[in-house]
Amino acid sequence: MKIIDTGFDGLKVIEPKVFLDSRGYFFESYNRNDYRKQCLNYVFVQDNQSRSTYGVIRGLHYQKEPYSQSKLVRVLEGTIYDVVVDIRENSSTFGQWYGIELSSTNFKQLLVPKGFAHGFSVISPHATVYYKCDEFYHPEAESGIRYNDPTLNIDWKIPSGKAVISEKDLKLPFLEFQK
């Protein structure tokens, strides 16, 4: 596997070694031994999967301490624009965001460490997103940042008027109110 630094401490793009032939493809999407060799010592305890249609924006979500989560995100079907925001107050990249296209054809994965809010937009007709978490979900620790926070100015790659947002996500606060 190839590990690409993003300029954000701990945030990595993972490119697995993919074996393609006339039958299709094969790759190891996760191998704990390979991660440990790269000093990526995560113990994942929960897997999540979602399916969404074009224009859906999910996020930006995170869990508060002591239940914050690291995530390993990949796409099983379709294409998303995956976005994270650094919410670690002592980080040099606090309040900055990073975005990357993840798809079922580019095989890229995003390793999101604790201390980031996470979300994505679906830029294909539909997408199935799968991610591993190193902490169980705790509803009382659930939090988030509104997708259209003007201080973040995230380009979700969805034309104006085409975004599909849940009522719950529309009620999330802006980042400035969470400091």
Name every residue whose Cβ is closer than 8 Å to that of residue 138 and which is 6 or more positions away in sequence.
63, 67
- What Å distances lie between residue 155 and 29, 50, 82, CA to CA? 28, 22, 11
Question: For the residues 140-169, what does the mean pLDDT come to?
Answer: 96
Whether 179 has a pLDDT exceeding 70, the answer reads no
pLDDT value for 136: 98
**Could you confirm whether 61 is annotated as catalytic?**
yes
Q: Out of 42, 61, 67, 130, which one is annotated catalytic?
A: 61
Question: For the residues 158-171, what does the mean pLDDT come to?
Answer: 96
Q: H or E segment at 132?
A: strand 126-133
pLDDT value for 39: 84
CA-angle at 152, arms to 169 and 177, nearest 5°: 65
pLDDT digits (tens, 9 = 90+) for 69-84: 999 999 999 999 999 9
What is the distance between the alpha carbons of residues 108 and 118, in angstroms, rounded to a whole number? 16
Whether 176 has a pLDDT exceeding 80, the answer reads no
Whether 101 has a pLDDT exceeding 60, the answer reads yes
CATH of 2-178, one of 3.40.190.10, 2.60.120.10, 1.10.287.130, 3.40.50.1470: 2.60.120.10
Average of per-residue pLDDT values in the chain: 96
What radius of gyration, in Å, describes the C-alpha atoms of the chain? 16
pLDDT value for 177: 61
Q: Out of 62, 81, 98, 131, which one is annotated catalytic?
A: 131
Domain boundaries, the chain: 2-178
pLDDT value for 160: 84
Query: pTM for the complete prediction?
Result: 0.94
Alpha helices per DSSP H over the chain: 32-37, 167-170
pLDDT value for 33: 92
